[in-house]
Amino acid sequence: MDDRQLKKLVLYYSLEGNTEFIAENIADKINADILKLKPEKEISTHGFMRYFWGGKQVVFKEKPKLFPFDKNPDDYDVIFIGTPVWAGTYAPAFNTFFDTIKLKDKYIALFCCYSGKSSSTFENMRKKLEGNQILGEIGFKDPLKYDKEQNANKVRQWAENIISKIKK
Ligand SMILES: Cc1cc2nc3c(=O)[nH]c(=O)nc-3n(C[C@H](O)[C@H](O)[C@H](O)COP(=O)(O)O)c2cc1C
């Protein structure tokens, strides 16, 4: 398939900017649209309590209400999906997303940011994305804090490789 005919979207959630940084680099490199999941009630980014409130949302499988999307993911052929790791899995904004939008027959690539490890994040996302073709996954350790430029270059190259897999 010709790259110019592919409709590309980068869909992500980010509380503290790391996943956003990666998402913006992908979108810039492959010329994709961007859709950020935004909970109506966001937890505070300051202090240790964010781990408590965020962790609680994961444990109780909460589905925070999101602001309406300005793009319809179903209009796209390729979707890069990115999340920070929260309590070993994807952030609760994706509980809401996966509950409302059923993606099917899409090319998907997954990315995440973490401070320790990706744990079950990709595995759990893959389960929610059955019926799609997962082309790859990549994780970054707090990229705003460590090797920012190196990580930007790494993800840009990765995104280009993902797109070239589709073109073949
Ligand atoms: C509520 C909460 C839970 C977290 N749980 C984990 C975790 O289980 N494992 C981990 O490696 N990092 C964890 N982190 C750290 C973030 O995944 C990491 O800092 C990430 O880069 C943040 O991405 P963001 O800046 O896009 O929000 C957690 C952060 C928050 C706020």
Per-residue pLDDT of the chain (168 residues), as tens digits, is: 555 689 999 999 999 999 999 999 999 999 999 999 999 999 887 788 888 899 999 999 999 999 999 999 999 999 999 999 999 999 999 999 999 999 999 999 999 999 999 999 999 999 999 999 999 999 999 999 999 999 999 999 999 999 999 976
CA–CA dist 16, 14 (Å, integer):
6
Which residue, judged by its Cα, is nearest atom 28 of ligand 1?
Answer: 86
| Residue 20 · residue 38 · CB < 8 Å | no
Burial class (CB in 10 A: 0-12, 13-18, 19+), 76: buried
Ligand 1 centroid from CA 5, angstroms: 35
Q: Of all atoms in ligand 1, which is nearest to the CA of residue 142? A: 21
**Residue 114 C-alpha from the chain's centroid:** 12
**Predicted pLDDT of residue 166:** 93
CATH topology of domain 3-167: Rossmann fold (3.40.50)
Q: Of all atoms in ligand 1, which is nearest to the CA of residue 117? A: 11
Ligand 1 pocket: which of 46, 48, 62, 86 to mutate (most atoms <8 Å of CB)?
A: 86
Ligand 1 pocket: which of 89, 114, 123, 141 to mutate (most atoms <8 Å of CB)?
A: 114
| Residue 14 · residue 20 · CB < 8 Å | yes
Task: Give the angle subtended at the CA of 102 by the CAs of 106 and 45, to the nearest 5°.
Answer: 100
| Residue 137 · residue 8 · CB < 8 Å | no
